[in-house]
A and B are shown apart, each in its own frame.
Chain A
Amino acid sequence: MIKKSLYLVLVTVLVLPVVVMLYLSVVNQWSFPKIFDVSISWRLWADFFSGNTSMLKSVLLSLFLSTIIASTATFFGFFVSQQLSDRPLFIKLSYFPYLIAPVVFGAMLQFYFTLLGLTGSVWGVLLAQVLFVFPYSVLLFSTFWNESVRQTAFQSTTLGATTWEVFSTVLFPMAQPWLYLCFLQCFLISWYEYGITQLIGIGKVETLPIKTMLFIKEANPHLAALSACIMVFPIVSFLIINRQLFAKKEVIA
């Protein structure tokens, strides 16, 4: 009995935020002390899907930024970590930009971004995010380039494979789980990034997290919840399908 109620409490704590998010996005008002409001309406969702709101623009902007950042970071991270694989100390330098809070990093760099005329622009935000997503990618790939991988590549070259063949038939297939995971992680870091986007974008680059915070500050929990749902649900469903990825992620970490 105690065990069952403990299970129940635990599952409730883990699931409650999802329920709250969804619930707030489908009620018009939620006055105290009612726990449930009867006036459920999918109006906000319908508006979103009809494309009449600015939210769709934010989704597209976020998608654009995150895809570019994740692809660039994954691509360059892979090659750079290969070049540095015999210098582990250099690779570890990536921990510094990766571990500094992006919001403090952004605050310290804002002067230079203003100097270059990059504040308030999508390209500025893109560059700012790359500055800490790319080091993450290098760190992640550094776990791939172990002795056996390097030996395999070396042997292929000795046996007469060209550089392109080594990459296309040996290294890329071997690195596939890493490439996939790195893209996903970099995408997520960028997709959920708030601090540095706010600082460098000065509110003009309205990605989904910026939009969500705007609604929260305006005390509009219903739109904030809708925005949160749009941000989190695709990721949650994707991760449920690919749950195995997490196991790998931890092993790599």
Chain B
Amino acid sequence: MKKRIVLALYFVITIVPLSMGFGYSLLYSFGLAGFINNGFTMAHWQKLLANSELFITIGYTIYITLVSLFFILTFALLFSWWLVLQKNNFVFNFFFLPLAFPPLIAAFTWYYILSPAGIISRIVYQFGAFTDVNEFPRLVNDYFSVGIIITHVFLIFPLFTILFVQQAKKEQMNSLKETSFTLGSTKAQFFLKIFMPLLLTKTAPLVILYTIFIFSAYEVPLLLGQSSPRMVTVFINEKMTRYNLQDIPQGHAMAVTYTVLIIGITTLFIRNIKTAQ
């Protein structure tokens, strides 16, 4: 009996709100809820698909996610390789610092480092590389979203570096290395064939988790992104909370798309950790 009550309460807090929110957005996107709607219509979805906003937004979000992830994992692998070989504890300590940074503050500080009037631009200016502030390349609110990617890398690569170093210790990487070298492998071979695959497979669930986090990022693209294209969370929020009431259903349609995507990836993720166990 007690267990049933706990189970019921658990569902009420975890699954019910999500289902209710999703249901409302679904109805809204088909014109079946909300005070501006009057009856079933496909118009909102058609509008979202017609000017390719849906694909552009999702595509852009995937671009940011994959590029950020690529740099995060590359840096984390290289630095953990380096820290495992060098055992430099002094530098290792600094990797803990970004873990205490929320995305909002990271985006704010990187804005003042990368913007045309920011620190890097001022340092370059002192060397006489340019005379007008507008000549400095745009690194924030820019076309390639350099600012967003750098901030994501800053926020997450230290965590993966720490994780890889700990995992390497657990796998007794140093004795594996000795053995490989004795058997005649080169450093590069060891890195590519043992170090990298071993760490990436062991931490795969966490990599997927952070892929979802980057895909769902909000504050960083809000501050450092362009007005178009936008990442999916920014898009949804803008459509739903701006003054143009006609845009709200499209926001809901995008929220439905996003939620379906996340539920799909999460289901795969849950299966993945089940098999890993």
**A and B physically associate:** yes
Seen from chain A, the residues whose Cβ lies within 8 Å of a Cβ on chain B are 7, 10-11, 13-18, 20-21, 24, 32-35, 79-80, 83-84, 90, 92-97, 99-105, 107-112, 130-131, 134-135, 138, 192, 194-195, 199, 209, 212-213, 216, 221, 224-225, 228, 231-232, 235-236, 239-240, 243, 246-247, 250-251, 253
B49 at the A interface (CB under 8 A):
no
* A231 surroundings in chain B (CB, below 8 A): 102, 105
When A and B form their complex, what is the total count of cross-chain residue pairs whose Cβ atoms lie within 8 Å? Answer: 198
Tell me, in angstroms, the Cα distance from A17 to B96 when the chains sit together.
13
Check A247–B166 contact: CB distance below 8 A: yes
* B112 surroundings in chain A (CB, below 8 A): 20, 24, 221
Q: Can you list 12 A-B contacts (CB < 8 A)?
A: A13-B154, A17-B109, A96-B14, A99-B262, A101-B218, A101-B258, A104-B233, A104-B237, A108-B259, A111-B24, A112-B21, A134-B14
Check B18–A103 contact: CB distance below 8 A: no
Q: How far is the CB of A61 from chain B (nearest CB, A)?
A: 17
Check A84–B154 contact: CB distance below 8 A: no
Check B237–A109 contact: CB distance below 8 A: no
B243 at the A interface (CB under 8 A):
no
Check A94–B14 contact: CB distance below 8 A: yes
| Residue among B101, B109, B258 with the highest chain A CB neighbour number at 10 A | B109
| Residue among B17, B79, B88, B270 with the highest chain A CB neighbour number at 10 A | B17
Interface band, chain B: 35 or more
Assuming the A-B contacts A34-B122, A195-B219, are A11 and B108 also in contact, with contact meaning beta carbons closer than 8 angstroms in the complex?
A: no
Check A130–B22 contact: CB distance below 8 A: no
Assuming the A-B contacts A20-B109, A33-B126, A107-B237, are A7 and B91 also in contact, with contact meaning beta carbons closer than 8 angstroms in the complex?
A: yes
Check B14–A93 contact: CB distance below 8 A: yes
Find residues 74-126 in chain B having any chain A CB closer than 8 Å to their own CB.
79, 88, 91, 93-106, 108-110, 112-113, 117, 119, 121-123, 125-126
Check B212–A99 contact: CB distance below 8 A: yes
| Residue among B95, B113, B218 with the highest chain A CB neighbour number at 10 A | B218
* B105 surroundings in chain A (CB, below 8 A): 17, 21, 212, 228, 231-232
Closest 3 CB pairs of A and B: A108-B21, A192-B102, A101-B216
Check B10–A90 contact: CB distance below 8 A: yes
Tell me, in angstroms, the Cα distance from A99 to B2 when the chains sit together.
28
Check A240–B96 contact: CB distance below 8 A: yes
* B255 surroundings in chain A (CB, below 8 A): 104, 107-108
Check A107–B236 contact: CB distance below 8 A: yes
- Is chain B's interface secondary structure helix, strand, loop, or mixed overall? helix
Check B259–A14 contact: CB distance below 8 A: no
* A21 surroundings in chain B (CB, below 8 A): 105, 108-109
* A199 surroundings in chain B (CB, below 8 A): 237, 241
Seen from chain B, the residues whose Cβ lies within 8 Å of a Cβ on chain A are 2-3, 6-7, 9-10, 13-15, 17-18, 20-22, 24-25, 33, 79, 88, 91, 93-106, 108-110, 112-113, 117, 119, 121-123, 125-126, 133, 154, 158, 162-163, 166, 206, 209, 212-213, 216-219, 223, 233, 236-237, 240-241, 251-252, 255, 258-259, 262-263, 266, 269-270, 274
Check A105–B14 contact: CB distance below 8 A: no
B263 interface neighbour in A16, A79, A96, Cβ under 8 Å: A96
Check A212–B108 contact: CB distance below 8 A: yes
* B236 surroundings in chain A (CB, below 8 A): 103-104, 107
* B88 surroundings in chain A (CB, below 8 A): 7
Tell me, in angstroms, the Cα distance from A93 to B103 when the chains sit together.
26
